[in-house]
């Protein structure tokens, strides 16, 4: 009973915790936790290093096949590390779990991890930072004052002596 209450409290306190069903023959529920800042930096570092290594080996950008192989190897080499960062150790050994999880279930977990930790925070926070906060900073400086010495005097030639002609509307005819 106490566990149910703590699970409810935990879900209220951290709504980013997501339940996912996994299993090939028998479904079971596991929790996907948000990454810590350290976890995000770890994943970002793994991806940056892999891209850097690929770029050094393929200065011309590589072929579609080499890019596909690169993405596959990146996932293969790092999926256990990423899952260990977002899954509860009580759910079992992640390496063993890979034998009981489908590609579709893996894809859902990866999508949750990406959306919770990278897509949503960066979209919302960076748009807010660059759109509102930095926009206000740059607007507060005000426009630069134009130099009066750089503009030649020009004579304004507008006439207000006669009203302009107007086209007759169909009701005036």
Q: What percent of the chain has pLDDT over 70?
A: 61
Instruction: Give the 3-state secondary structure of 9-50.
Output: HHHHHCCCCEEEEECCCCCEEEEECCCCHHHHHHHHHHHHHH
Q: Which of 109, 83, 108, 112 lies closest to 97 in space, CA to CA?
A: 83
User: Is position 29 within any domain?
Assistant: yes
Q: What pLDDT is attached to residue 15? A: 72
Distance, in Å, from the CA atom of 69 to the CA atom of 72, rounded to the nearest integer, reads 5
User: Is position 139 within any domain?
Assistant: no
Q: Which of 28, 40, 21 lies closest to 116 in space, CA to CA?
A: 40
Please count the structural domains in the chain: 1
Please, what is the average pLDDT of the chain? 77
User: Is position 130 within any domain?
Assistant: no
Q: What is the pTM of this model?
A: 0.60
Q: What percent of the chain has pLDDT over 90?
A: 24
pLDDT tens string 36-91? 989 999 988 988 988 888 888 888 888 888 888 888 888 888 899 999 999 988 87
112 contacts: CB under 8 Å, gap ≥ 6: 18, 20, 32
Question: Taking a C-beta distance cutoff of 8 angstroms, is the pair 20, 33 a contact?
Answer: no
Instruction: Give the 3-state secondary structure of 77-98.
Output: HHHHHHHHHHECHHHCCHHHHH
pLDDT tens string 120-139? 666 666 666 666 655 565 56
Residue 104's pLDDT band, with cuts at 50, 70 and 90, is very high
| Stronger pLDDT, 173 or 157, i.e. the higher one | 157
Distance, in Å, from the CA atom of 141 to the CA atom of 129, rounded to the nearest integer, reads 17
User: Is position 157 within any domain?
Assistant: no
Q: What pLDDT is attached to residue 149? A: 59
Is pLDDT of 146 > 90? Answer: no
pLDDT tens string 16-25? 889 999 999 9
Q: Is 126 helix (H, G, I), strand (E, B) or coil?
A: helix
Is pLDDT of 13 > 90? Answer: no
Q: Which domain holds residue 55?
A: 2-123
User: Is position 142 within any domain?
Assistant: no
């Amino acid at each position: 009973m106490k566990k149910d209450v703590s699970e409810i409290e935990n879900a209220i306190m951290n709504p980013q915790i997501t339940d996912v069903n996994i299993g090939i023959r028998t479904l079971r529920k596991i929790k996907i936790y948000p990454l810590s800042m350290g976890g995000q930096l770890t994943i970002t570092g793994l991806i940056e290093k892999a891209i850097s290594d690929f770029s050094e080996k393929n200065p011309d950008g590589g072929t579609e096949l080499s890019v596909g192989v690169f993405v596959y190897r990146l996932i293969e080499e790092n999926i256990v590390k990423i899952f260990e960062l977002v899954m509860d150790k009580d759910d079992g050994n992640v390496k063993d779990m890979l034998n009981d999880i489908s590609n579709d279930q893996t894809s859902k977990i990866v999508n949750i991890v990406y959306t919770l930790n990278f897509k949503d925070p960066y979209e919302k926070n960076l748009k807010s930072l660059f759109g509102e906060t930095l926009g206000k900073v740059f607007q507060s400086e005000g426009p630069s004052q134009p130099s009066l010495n750089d503009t030649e005097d020009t004579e304004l030639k507008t006439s207000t002596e006669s009203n302009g002609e107007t086209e007759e509307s169909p009701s005036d005819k």
